[in-house]
Chains A and B, each alone.
Chain A
Amino acid sequence: SQELEQSPQSLIVQEGKNLTINCTSSKTLYGLYWYKQKYGEGLIFLMMLQKGGEEKSHEKITAKLDEKKQQSSLHITASQPSHAGIYLCGADLNTGFQKLVFGTGTRLLVSP
């Protein structure tokens, strides 16, 4: 079973619409990282969250970590075609060294 569950697995939204991707664990997340991947390429770091209740924004993307540090959400406002790709959450589960486990990813398509 996956230690990090992402939902939805895929998403098609119309350009200009808002969307939210979720990342959930049954364990405490000591560091939560959001990445974006274009098909066949490497992962691009978006944001990192550490503290319960923390929220960070960059351009039109906002990431939040809940107070219990077991769930994170990534929200995109007014989506654009450039937002299309695969979004992955990665987390440090306090294994003693910075080894991240990853969710299975959410594939986002933005239609014109």
Chain B
Amino acid sequence: DGGITQSPKYLFRKEGQNVTLSCEQNLNHDAMYWYRQDPGQGLRLIYYSQIVNDFQKGDIAEGYSVSREKKESFPLTVTSAQKNPTAFYLCASSGGYSYNSPLHFGNGTRLTVT
């Protein structure tokens, strides 16, 4: 079955360490996204990529970095510069430039930084 796989489900890190969250999709989608979800704030867009080797900052990109070397993969690195990294991170993909293409989401990674 096609879908989006995020790993790991839970991640614990010490403050000051960088950490990379994995996102893989086999839906053959061009576009991929990273959202952050915090209680009471809904989902906020971190980065998105329309095509391989290209990506753009979303609304809250500071302290994060991404790469898109392969169509199926869009890893997110949470750097030590991110002031409040503890959150639930969701990866999504879509067919891209189309109002008819809903986002498909992975099951998320819960990151806790202490």
**Which positions in A face B, CB cutoff 8 Å?**
2, 4, 30-31, 33, 35, 40-45, 48, 50, 88, 90, 92, 97-105
Chain B residues near A104 (CB-CB < 8 A): 40-42
> Which B residue sits closest to A100, measured CB to CB?
B103
Chain A residues near B108 (CB-CB < 8 A): 40-42
Q: How many A-B residue pairs have CB under 8 A?
A: 64
Chain B residues near A45 (CB-CB < 8 A): 102-104
Interface footprint category on B: 20 to 34
Chain A residues near B33 (CB-CB < 8 A): 99
The reply to whether B50 and A92 contact each other, CB–CB distance below 8 Å, is no
**Which of A35, A40, A97 meets B50, CB within 8 Å?**
A97
**Which of B31, B43, B88, B104 meets A98, CB within 8 Å?**
B31
**Which of A4, A33, A102 meets B102, CB within 8 Å?**
A33
